[in-house]
Amino acid sequence: MKIKEIIVVEGKDDTAKIKQAVDADTIETNGSAVNTTIIDQIKHANDIRGIIIFTDPDYPGQRIRHIVSNAVPGCKHAFLSKDEAKAKHDKGIGIEHATKETIKKALSNVYELTEEYKSELTREDLLNYGLLGGEKARARREKLGRELRIGYTNGKQLLKRLNMFKITKETFTETVNKIVQEEKDE
């Protein structure tokens, strides 16, 4: 699988793992202290080939994603869930621990964020499906983020994330109904 865009990752271990899974070029941020030189390199890469931000599903990874996407408009995003990025024998979480198949799947389901899209989804939809408040809300949001490949978000940010990724009401409803049905089957 050849990736046209340049993938922005945190470090060399991520680059090595991605190159095992797909044919791609990367830019490493070298952790969450993203400097102006790296930002300029990412901007140039975005102008020439486009970029995909693919960071770890933890706080530093989210921080890097936020810094880069604010500095470089028009980025695409790929996500892994914490379960997909969990190390087998230690407590580490990162792209370098994911399987090749999981990396391929994440990179084949990228999103471009936009502020212009106005979704038909409302806060009421989130409440009606038990995604805000309640004992199952967090677990449902985790499953929703994993199923839609948009990453985990807290209750306050969920509607914004769904809108930014242009998730339709139909896709949202089908996915949440699947999650609710799986809960009933357990």
Q: pLDDT per residue over 52-106, tens digit each?
A: 999 998 889 988 998 998 899 889 999 988 888 887 776 788 999 999 999 999 9
pTM: 0.71
Mean pLDDT of the chain: 89
Which residues are CB-neighbours of 121 under 8 A, at least 6 positions away? 159, 162, 163, 167, 169, 172
- The verdict on residue 170 lying in a domain is yes
- 117, pLDDT greater than 60: no
Q: Residues 57, 128: one domain? A: no
- 116, pLDDT greater than 60: no
- The verdict on residue 57 lying in a domain is yes
Q: Residues 147, 88: one domain? A: no
Which residues are CB-neighbours of 4 under 8 A, at least 6 positions away? 49, 50
Highest mean pLDDT among 14-28, 113-127, 142-156: 14-28
**Structure confidence at residue 115 (pLDDT):** 55
Q: Residues 67, 25: one domain? A: yes
3-state secondary structure of 106: helix
- The verdict on residue 1 lying in a domain is no
pLDDT tens, residue by residue, 125-159: 999 999 998 889 999 999 999 898 888 888 888 98
- The verdict on residue 118 lying in a domain is no
Answer with the residue of higher pLDDT: 150 or 3: 3
Q: Residues 151, 78: one domain? A: no
Question: Residue 51 belongs to what domain range?
Answer: 6-112
Task: Work out how many domains the chain is built from and give that number.
Answer: 2
Q: Residues 49, 95: one domain? A: yes
- The verdict on residue 20 lying in a domain is yes
